[in-house]
Every structure is written in structure tokens, then in C-alpha cells.
Amino acid sequence: MTSRPFKQVDVFTSEGYLGNPVAVVLDGSGLSDASMQGFARWTQLSETTFLLPPSPQAKANGADYKLRIFTPGGELPFAGHPTLGSARAWLHAGCLPQKKGVIVQECGVGLIQIEDRSGRWAFAAPPTHKRDIPEDKLPQLLAALGIRSDQVLAHQILDNGPMWWSFLLDSTATLRAVSPNHLALKQLGIKVGVAAIGHQTTTHSSLLISRSNRESRAFIGRAPQGSRPVTAGEGAELEVRAFAAAIGILEDPVTGSLNASMAQWLIGMGTMPDNYMATQGQALGRQGRVHIQQDAKGQVWVGGDTVVCIDGHVALD
């Protein structure tokens, strides 16, 4: 067995063991797809990554390394917390990017830019493709989640590499009470993200949010004349949960790809401000913190703190 440098990094937390860990094999050269998948199944983390040299074309375009990302159930073209965690592991190993303060990662969705933004690394969210959830799928999906239709303010399928069937719920109380039927979600073969706005407690505001977008009007009912969109306001937070039994993870502690696509969706609707913090993981005893910022050009950046918790070697062929 070949001894390979290995780190385990806790992501979206400044205190170890309260975020979402990612296993990072710093030299994946020569490993087969089956070996990578087998190791990811063994770690039983939501993601395990393998760093490789970038392709010649990607390197010419600034790429510092290539990243392959595996869940226990398969490979992903992109994921958020493995992106930040792998970048931290790479820097911790003494590697330096081609451009100071900017790391460029090659992965399944192309090149991802990771920047040091005021002392916290953040990745540029890749484009999110949005489409409506088919109406004939909603009853079965809501039943699997254990939520009622009148508790949903908006819904959309969000795809930025991983695909998340996403719901904005009426309150954090509803969000925290969600207790899904994971077997039913696995049989449906989909990953589900749910979110609710914090510090927004009035029923009237929630109803107006639900009436301010096309997805909700089609699902909940026709908006009366004169209703206006209501934003969450400065200082608002978003509380998020992610269920992914379809890929072997019942509930993900903190999910970068989901938070990235939700930010593009909700900021685009005018529901969330262009600078906010999302929290995730409370149901699992974690305290994930995801920092969202949309810049003047409209690019959404997803940032978070990282902590190296394990530093050593792994025997792997």
C-alpha cells in the first residue's frame, strides 16, 4: 500500500468538530476510480476528495490543482465544503497558488476561483440552473418531508453541479421540526434542501414573501392585487438543512453547494439581502456558519472558516 499525505479538515467553522469534515488525500495520482470510491465509502463522510495535477489546458488557464469529489454513493462534479476544505489542506501542506491570494481549482464543472476575501477564503459560486418542481411530484415529496403545502413559501430545483430540490419554509420552527422519511427520499432518488429566514416572524411578511414570486403563486395561490415583495432586511440570516439519502447521507451537516445555489435563487428574488450569514447543522449538534456575499458584478461568493483536525498519512492503492 502506498503512503499518501492526508488531512481531515472541518469546514464552515472556526472551532474544530462543529462544522462539516472533509477527508482530503493530497496525492491521488495513480488511484483508480474504484479505489477512490471505496475509500470514500470507508470514511463515511459526506465527501472525500483527491488532489491531482491540473490538466495542461486548465493549468494554462491558471488552475493550481484538479479536485475529484466522492460521496459514499458516487462522484460529484462540484461541492462547496470540499472545495474550501481541500484548498485549506493544500495550503496547510505548504503549496502556493500561481497567483497570490487566489486559488484556481479544476473540477467537474470547470474552473472554480477561491479567493482570500478579508482573511476568509471564499469560492465563486458556479452558475445555478433553475427549474420548477413538477406539480405531480410535490405531494409525494412533501409527504416524505413531513411538511404541509401551506408551510412552503417557494420551491425550485437548483442545479450547480449537484442538484437540490429546494424549499423555502414559513418559519425556522417549521424547519427545525422537519423529520423526513429518509427511505422515501432515497426511493425518490433526489436530494432536498430546506431553508427558512431567521428574525422574520410576522405572518404577514411571510405571506407577502410567498406571494412575491412565480413559483409560490403557482403552488400556493393567486396573489391579491397590490401585494409587494418583502425582503428579509439587513442582518437577516438563513437557516438551512440538507437531506441526501439518495447518495448515502441522511442529513449533511453544512452544505456549500446548496447554500451557493440558494443564495443565487433567494438574492435574485429579492428575498435575501446581498450579504448574509447562513446557519446549518443545528439538528446534528453542529454550528456551521456560511458567509454569503454578492459583489457589484453580481457574483455570489461563499465563504467559511476551516480547521485542520487530522494531519498524517493514509495507506491507499
pLDDT digits (tens, 9 = 90+) for 5-33: 999 999 999 999 999 999 999 999 999 99
The rounded distance, in Å, linking the Cα atoms of 132 and 188 is: 17
pLDDT at 232: 64
234 pLDDT tier (thresholds 50, 70, 90): low
- CA separation for the pair 232, 235 (Å, rounded): 8
Supply the pLDDT for residue 116.
96
- The ranges assigned to domains in the chain are 3-125+304-315, 130-296
Q: How does pLDDT run across 38-67, given as a tens digit for each residue?
A: 999 999 999 999 999 999 999 999 999 999
- The pLDDT, as a whole number, for residue 213 is 37
C-alpha cell at 159: 442545479
Residue 180: pLDDT over 80: yes
> What are the CB-based long-range contacts (under 8 Å, 24+) for 169-173?
169/194, 169/195, 169/196, 170/196, 170/206, 170/210, 171/196, 171/201, 171/206, 172/196, 172/197, 172/198, 172/239
CATH architecture of 3-125+304-315: Roll (3.10)
Model pLDDT, residue 118: 85
Structure confidence at residue 233 (pLDDT): 59
Tell me the mean pLDDT in the region 162-169: 97
**In contact, 59 and 97? CB cutoff 8 Å:** no
DSSP 8-state class, residue 95: -
Equal fold, 3-125+304-315 vs 130-296 = yes
**pTM score, whole prediction:** 0.89
Q: Tell me what the pLDDT averaged over the chain comes to.
A: 90
Tally Cβ neighbours within 10 Å of residue 51: 25
CATH architecture of 130-296: Roll (3.10)
Between 92 and 227, residue with greater pLDDT: 92
